[in-house]
């Protein structure tokens, strides 16, 4: 990202990024908070099954589908055009639970656990985003859909991009939340938070340093990169990453960033032609997501999610749901408030 482009990262975003710079004292405070504060939905998340009827909302079911390297766990509900949700790190499909029921009124909503994470199988390799996108596509195709609309947050957005780029005839609309692309701005973040270099370190460095007891402290620090940390169902994610093998899978996604950057730059001329909703949190990336995606897409709609940091689907689910209904709706609708203007179909 050039100096001119980097100026699009607002002071509010910089303040949000600084929340990641917590020292040992801050980490201990996060741990204490985690011990005494349980998010409202944590009990539901901790007992949500991995197959059969879902418990978080009626009409949804859990399932698994075979893909190269193993299988993918998904949660599905509703009917109509397929709307596929891809989560970020350090979360799982559960991050979408607040927006899925409403959107399932007009869509077949499919939330996927990324390979290696959540309840999906753990592949031996292939954590670069282009390979992961092909695995996600396999899962969606085997569920009966050859055309989809995609929503990705963090890692999910990095995976949704090559899905849309490499299979443009199959992706009609794309929404990306809270990340610039590898090769087009993501590298600018490496010096802002130490977790990038830590997670990207070769095995077994992070695996040896981080053990199960450290998960609430470390992930708790990550969840402080938010404006409304009380809205994040962090206990569910602590449990999801308590397995060392799943932490390694998360590290492998980070370790693939250099390869992702090379792949993205080599294929940047294959610009996205479908509409791209690029959303950043008011207290995080703001318009910076759109600045990055404009380098690879022709029709980018910038949106800033108010009263939200990095974890928009949990911090301001109402805004995301309202925006998604406009952007993925069957017809154009006039928004009822100005901050939704970029969401109009």
Q: Which domains does the chain have, with CATH numbers?
A: 3-343 (3.40.50.1820)
Q: What's the pLDDT score for residue 27? A: 38
Do residues 236 and 45 make contact, with C-beta atoms less than 8 angstroms apart? Answer: yes
Angle (CA) 228-230-234 rounded to 5° is 115
Give the chain's mean pLDDT.
89
**pLDDT the model gives residue 23:** 37
The pLDDT assigned to 330 comes to 85
Q: Given this model, what pLDDT does residue 332 score?
A: 80
The sign of the CA dihedral 159, 161, 165, 170 is: positive
- Would you state the pLDDT for residue 31? 36
Alpha-carbon gap, residue 304 to 219, rounded angstroms: 25
pLDDT beneath 50, residues of the chain: 1-45
Give the model's pLDDT for residue 5: 34
CA dist 256 and 105 (Å) reads 37
Whose CA is closest to 63, among 126, 113, 105, 101? 113
Kindly provide the residue ranges of all beta strands, DSSP E only, lying in the chain, ordered along the sequence.
52-53, 60-67, 70-78, 82-86, 108-112, 148-153, 171-177, 276-281, 300-305
112, 71 Cβ separation under 8 angstroms: no
> Residue for token digits 């509010």?
12
């Amino acid at each position: 990202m050039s100096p001119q482009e980097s100026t699009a990262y607002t002071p509010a975003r910089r303040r949000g990024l600084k929340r990641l710079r917590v020292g040992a004292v801050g980490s201990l405070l996060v741990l204490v908070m985690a011990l005494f504060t349980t998010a409202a939905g944590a009990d539901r998340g901790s007992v949500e099954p991995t197959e059969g009827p879902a418990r978080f909302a009626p009409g949804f079911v859990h399932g698994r589908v075979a893909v190269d390297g193993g299988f993918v766990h998904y949660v599905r509900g509703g009917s109509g055009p397929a709307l596929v949700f891809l989560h970020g790190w350090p979360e799982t499909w559960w991050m979408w639970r607040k927006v899925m029921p409403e959107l399932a009124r007009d869509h077949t909503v499919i939330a996927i656990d990324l390979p290696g994470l959540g309840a999906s199988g753990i592949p031996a390799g292939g954590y670069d985003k282009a390979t992961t996108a092909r695995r996600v596509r396999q899962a969606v195709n085997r569920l009966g859909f050859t055309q989809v609309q995609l929503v990705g947050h963090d890692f999910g957005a990095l995976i949704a991009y090559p899905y849309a780029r490499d299979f443009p005839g199959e992706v009609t609309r794309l929404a990306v939340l809270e990340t610039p692309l590898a090769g087009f701005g993501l590298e600018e973040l490496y010096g802002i938070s130490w977790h990038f270099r830590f997670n990207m370190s070769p095995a077994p460095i992070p695996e040896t340093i981080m053990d199960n007891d450290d998960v609430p402290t470390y992930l708790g620090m990550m969840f402080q990169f938010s404006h409304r940390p009380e809205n994040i169902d962090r206990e569910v994610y602590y449990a999801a990453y308590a397995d060392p093998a799943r932490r390694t899978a998360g590290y492998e996604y980070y370790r693939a960033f250099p390869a992702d950057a090379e792949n993205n730059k080599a294929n940047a001329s294959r610009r996205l032609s479908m509409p791209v909703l690029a959303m950043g949190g008011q207290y995080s990336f703001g318009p910076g997501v759109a600045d990055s995606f404009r380098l690879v897409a022709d029709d980018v709609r910038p949106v800033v999610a108010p009263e939200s940091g990095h974890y928009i689907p949990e911090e301001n689910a109402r805004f995301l749901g309202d925006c998604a209904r406009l952007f993925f709706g069957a017809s154009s609708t006039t928004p009822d408030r100005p901050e939704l203007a970029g969401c109009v179909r």
